[in-house]
Structure 1
C-alpha cells in the first residue's frame, strides 16, 4: 500500500486525498464560523457586491457592501402584498403586485413591507401562506416561491428593499415552545436559500413578536436565519410599541423595527432620540410602523424621525392609494441623507440655534440642521461652531431644490445663516468642514535632555491630596477652567486666566477621577469611597449652583469603587468608568463600566486582577485606552469592550514602574498619546496611530505625577494650548504647549485640527 502511493499515480492519489481533507476542514470551519463568534467577534461573512449589510464601522446603520451609505424611507404597507388578487389553483396570485412595484420606480421611495405567513392566527385568511394547498405538512410551494421571485427580482433591480417578515403578528404555525423544530427549520431554510441572492433584502423574524412567541423562540429563529443565509443579510425584529429593544445584544439581530404613534412630529422625533440613546450603538433603528395624530406620517414627520437617527417606513402607505408626491417625499429624504455622512453623526439637538429644530452632528466636523417652517428672513443656526472653512448644502425637502456654497468661513461660537431665496420654508442644511487635514504630523521626535520649565503653578496650599485634572475650554477663552480633584474630598475649580480658585466642590468622601465633556459642557467626578460618580453642568457651576445634577454608578457588589472616568462620543455620548476593589487590588477582578449620560448602566467588561485608574476615550479612532498600573502598560479596547492590544510594554521605568495619567493630543484622527511615567518623573509620547513610543520629556518640579490634562484651545496664559501635570500630590504645574512642541518636535494642532 505504501509503495503504491510512491508511484506517480500514488502521488496523484495523495493530492486527491489531501484536497478532499482540505475541503472538509474548510467546510467545518465555515459552518462553525457561520454560527456566531470567533474570539468574541462575528466571523467575517461573504457578501454580494452592492448588498445591504450592517456597516461594520457604524453598526447603528446599514450600508451597501463595497458601496456607499444606505438610507431607507418608503411604504410600511401593504402587509398583504404577497397575497393580493385571486388565488390560483397552484397558490399563485392574479394581483397588482407588479403595478405597485412600477409605481414605486423612479420615486426614490425604497421599501415594501410584506409577509410570508399571515394565516394561523395572523391578520390574513387561511390561504395567506406559501404552503402547498396551504397545508404546512406538505411543504412550501415551488410555484408560489417562483412568483415571489419574479416580484423580488424587479424590486431588487430597482433598489426597493424586500422587507421580508416570516410571520405576521399572531401567526404561529408550529407549537414548539422556545425551540425551532424540524419542520420550521426546513421552512426557514427553504425561504432563505431561495431569496438570499437578492441585494436589497432585510429579514424580519415576526411582527409584534410577543403576540405569538417568546423571546427565546425569536432568538432561535434569528439564529436559524443567520445560519442558513450565506450572505449575512441584516435581521430585524418588530415589537408591539415601546422604545426599549428586547434583543439589544443578540448577535443574530441587527435592527429594532419600531412601532410608535405620536401626536406631533416633534414628539415622534424625541421618541426616536430616546430609542437612539437606548440603543447605545448596538443595533439599527427603523421606524417600521409610524403615525402622527391618528394619520399617516407626512413629510415633516418623516424628517423628524430621520433626524432622530432612524430609518422610516410609513404605516398606511399602501402604494395603491398613495399620491406620487408622498412617495417622492421619501425619495428626496433618501437622496439627501445618502449625499451626507449621516452615518457618522448622532442626534445633537442641544446644538440647535436660531430657527433650527433638530440636529444630527459629528461635532466640529459635520452637521445636518433641519427647520420645518422657517420664516423668509429666518436663519438656520448651530451652537458651538469651531472656527474654520465649511461647505454648505441647502436643501428644500418639499421640492428637492439644492443650493451649494463652498469654503464658507465660519467664526467660533453660536452662528446662524439666512437660507437662499430659492429654498422654501422647510429647510435642511448639510455643513461639512473642509479645512481639516492639510498637513502631516511629525513622528520623528526628540527627547530633550533638560526639563521644560513650568509657566504657572496651581497650589491651594494643602498637601498630599491632589489626584486628577481636567480642562474646560470655554467659548470665551477667558472663562476656561481647570478642575483638580483632591483625595480628601473636594474639587478645586481654577480660572485659567486669573489662575485663581473660583469655586470648590465638596460633599465627597474622596474625589478621584475627573473628566469634562466639552459637547455637553458637563463634568464628571468619581468618589471611590462613596462608590458613586457625580455629574455637574458647568452652566450651573458658573451660576453658583455647586450641587451635582446626577449621582450614579454605585450599584455594584464586585469591584465597587469607581476610579477614572472619560466620555466617548460616537453617534451619542457614553461615560466609561474604571472600577477597582479597594483593599483587594490584585486579588479580585477590576472592570470598565459604561453608562449613558443620564447614569443608566449599559455594560461592563473585566480587565483582570489589576489596578486600574486612568482611562481615556479616543473618539476619532474608536478606542478606549486604559492604564494598567499593575503591569505598567496601556490596554486598548474597542468601545464594546473587545480587547485590541497592549502598548508601552517595557517603556515605563523606575524600580516600581507605573503608567498613570493619560491624555490625547489630537491632530484630526492622528496625533500623540501622552502618558505619565510616574516613578521616573517623565511623560512618554506615543504615536496615536501605531502606539509606538516616540520620545519623552520632563517638566521641572513635576514629580511623581498621577493625573495629567491638556488643552488645544488658545487661552489667555496658554496661546498655543497648555499641558497640566499633578506633582507630588501637592500642586499642579502648567506649561505652554509651544514649549513642549519646541523641545520635542511635536506638531502643534490648535483645537485638534491639523493645519497647513
Structure 2
C-alpha cells in the first residue's frame, strides 16, 4: 500500500504507456464505474480509482483529499462532494482501506447530464476547496455524461414523489408531485443508530439499559417484518432494523428522528468516526451500512430528520464553534448522505448554541449541500416558573426569535413541556415567520415531561386521548407541518433510549396516522389557517379557508358556536381516535342559531368522545 500517488521519473515515456492503458500521468485510471437506474430522482453512483489509502493513513483520506464532481445539464449545475469508499463494498466487506472514491448524485431533471470529476490533495483541503481551482492541480480530472429518463412509474416512496423541498410556504413539497408533505414521525429512540449489527458501534458509557444486550439495539421483534429482497449487509445483518422501518411505514409513519452523533451525550453510542475521540477519521464501513438503511427509507418514503448533535454534547466539536472538525463532520454527512430525498438537517437537539453559532452552522451546510435540504433546530424545554439571570426562562423565544427571516433557516423543531400550549405556540411562530417574509415549516418534535412523552398502549397512565387532542390535532389545527412522537424516559423497556419494539405503541400509530390520512383525504390544508376567533368556545380549535371550508375540533362534553359565511354548506363528523368514515347526516350534532352562525355539538349525542367536524360550501 502507498499513501499517495508517485509521479513517474520518465514522464514522456510513462505518459505514452499510460495513455495506451487508459491511465493518467499519475498512474491512475481515467475510467469509472457508473451505477443506478438512470431515472429521475434515483441515485447515480460514480466510483473512481484513486489513491490507495486507509482510514488511519498518514495522509488523512477524509481531510487531505477533496473529491468534487460538477454535474450539469442545459439548465442547472451542481457541485457535489464525494468521499473515500475504501474497497467500494465496505458495507459488506467491513474494509477500512482501498482505492475507491465515490460520489452519489440525485438528478432532478431528465435528459443529458455531463460531469467533471476531480480529486485534489492538500493539507485540510476537504474543508477548504469546494470547486475546481483556476490552476488544475487535481490528481485526476475525469469527464463523462449519462442520460436520465423520466420517473419510474413503478417506483415507490420518494423515488416516485421526489425530493422534499422548501418552497416558501408552511409545508415542504414533494418535488415531483408538488403535493405538500405532512410529517407523521417517530421520534424515539433518539439513538436509533446504536444498532448492534453496525460496524464499530458500542456502548461507550451511556445510561444503564438492562433490557438491551451490551447497551445496543437489536430490534428482535421486528426481524419477522423484514421481507424477501429487502436489503441486508455482511452475512445477512440488518434484518431487525430494516424490519422495524417496514413495520412503521406499514402503520402510516413517514418520518424518523435520529441522532448521528451522541458521543458524550445521553446514549453515548452513536458516532460516525472510527472511535469517539478520532474526529477526523471516519468509519467507512459503518457509514456504508447507514447508507443501506437510509436508501431503504427513501424507498419507503420515510423522511430523515438528521439531528447532528444534542444538548449534552454540542461543544464536543470545536467547543461549539465552526472549526475544522465540525466543518469536516458536516461535509462528510453531506457528501455521503446528501443525495437522499427526505432529509432535514437539524442543527441540534435542545440546543445551547448562540444564534450566531447556529447561523454559522446553517450557512456552512447550505454552502456545501447542492440540494438545499431544509435546515432546522430544536429548542430547550420551557418550564413555567423557572428563572435565569432574574428573568423568566423562555428558551423557545430565545432560540427562534433571532432566526426569524434568516435566509438559511426553515424549520423550528418545537419541544413543548406544557401540551396545553402547543396549539397557540405553533400559531405564534407561523404568524411571526410570515411577518418576516420567510414563512416557516413548523414541526412539533417533542412533548411533555422528559419521563413521559407518549406512553405505551398498555401503560397504566395511558395518555393517548390527551396527546391526541392537545398535541396531534392541536398542532395540525394551527398549521403545523407535522409531528414526531417522543417516548419518554422512564417507561423501560420502551423509553427514548431502550425502545426495541415499536408495536408497544401500535394503537398510538393508528391514532396519529388517522389524522394524517384525514388531512390528506379531505382538506386543502395547505390553503387553510387557524381561525379560532370564529369559535365561541376556547377549548375547541378551528382551521379554515374562510367562506369555503371550516374544520372544528370539539373536545368531549363541549359545544361551540361557529361563525360561517353566507350560503349553503354541508356538514360531516369524524371520530379522530377510531378513524374510518365521515358521518354526514345533516341533523345530528348541529343547528342554526342565528344568521351566519351554527351551534356544534357531539355527533348523535355521543358526548363522551372528541369529534372533528367539517363544514364545507356546497
Per-residue deviation, 1:190 = 1.8
Change (3 A) 1:49 1:248: farther
Are residue 428 (structure 1) and residue 599 (structure 2) matched? no
Shift of the 224–419 alpha-carbon distance from structure 1 to 2, 3 Å rule, reads: same
- Residue of 210, 218, 239 corresponding to 1:95: 218
**Counterpart contact for 1:54–1:254, Cα < 8 Å:** no
Residue 123 of structure 1 aligns with which residue? 266
**Distance (Å, rounded) in 1 between the aligned partners of 2:357 and 2:531:** 37
SS in 2 for 1:325: helix
What is residue 78 of structure 1 aligned with on the other side?
189
Q: Give 2:448's aligned residue.
A: 291
Q: Give the 5 Å matches for 1:502-521.
A: none
* C-alpha deviation, 1:77, in angstroms: 1.4
Q: For the residues of structure 1 that align with 2:595 and 2:530, how far apart are their CA atoms? A: 21
> Is 2:481 the partner of 1:326?
no
Matched, 1:111 2:255: yes
Q: Which has the higher contact order (CA 8 A, sep 6+)?
A: 2
How far the C-alpha of 1:253 sits from its partner, in A, is 1.1
Aligned mates of 1:344, 1:217 — CA distance in 2: 35
- Report deviation, 1:94: 6.7
Aligned 8 A contact 2:196 2:202 in 1: no
1:53 aligns with 2:164: yes
Give distance in 2, aligned partners of 1:401 and 1:174.
48
Whether 1:230 aligns to 2:370 is yes
Q: Which runs of 5+ in 1 are unaligned?
A: 1-22, 35-44, 435-756
Separation in 2, partners of 1:275, 1:91: 39
CA distance in 2, matches of 1:388, 1:381: 17
Deviation (angstroms), 1:133: 3.3
Query: Could you say if the C-alpha distance between residues 168 and 267 of structure 1 is closer, same or farther in structure 2, counting changes exceeding 3 Å?
Result: closer
TM-score, normalised by the number of residues in structure 1: 0.46
Instruction: State the alpha-carbon separation in 1 of the partners of residues 348 and 479 from structure 2.
Output: 23
Return the offset for 1:78: 0.8
Would the alpha carbon gap of residues 79 and 389 (structure 1) be closer, same or farther in structure 2, given more than 3 Å must change? same
Matched, 1:396 2:578: no
Larger helix proportion of the pair = 2
CA distance change for structure 1 residues 132 and 348 in 2, over 3 Å: closer, same or farther?
same
Q: Does 1:268 align with 2:422?
A: yes
The CA deviation at 1:326 is 0.6
Could you tell me how far apart the structure 1 residues matched to 2:313 and 2:108 are? 32
Q: Secondary structure in 1 aligned to 2:311?
A: coil
Counterpart selection for 1:207 from 349, 354, 368: 349
Counterpart secondary structure, 1:78: coil
1:221 to 361, 368, 371: 361
Pairwise CA RMSD of aligned residues?
Answer: 3.8
CA distance in 1, matches of 2:579, 2:295: 29
CA gap of 1:184–1:418, structure 2 versus 1, over 3 A, is: closer
Structure 1 residues 104-503: aligned runs within 5 Å = 104-119=248-263, 121-125=264-268, 127-172=269-314, 176=318, 180-210=322-352, 213-241=353-381, 242-244=395-397, 245=400, 246-262=402-418, 265-280=419-434, 282-291=439-448, 295-297=452-454, 298-301=467-470, 302-310=472-480, 311-316=482-487, 318=496, 320=501, 322-339=504-521, 340-353=523-536, 357-374=540-557, 381-383=561-563, 385-403=564-582, 405=584, 412-417=595-600, 420-421=603-604, 425-434=609-618
- Greater share of strand residues, 1 or 2? 1
Describe the superposition over 1:726-750 as per-residue Cα deviations: whole angstroms up to 9, x where unpaired.
Answer: xxxxxxxxxxxxxxxxxxxxxxxxx
CA-CA distance at 1:396 after TM superposition? 1.1
- Any residues of structure 2 matched to 1:660-671 within 5 Å, and which? none
TM-score, with structure 2 as normaliser = 0.56
Partner Cα distance (2:287, 2:315) in 1 = 18
Kindly state the Cα deviation for residue 327 of structure 1 after the two structures are TM-superposed.
1.2
Q: Which moved more, 1:169-178 or 1:97-106?
A: 169-178
Greater CA radius of gyration, 1 or 2?
1
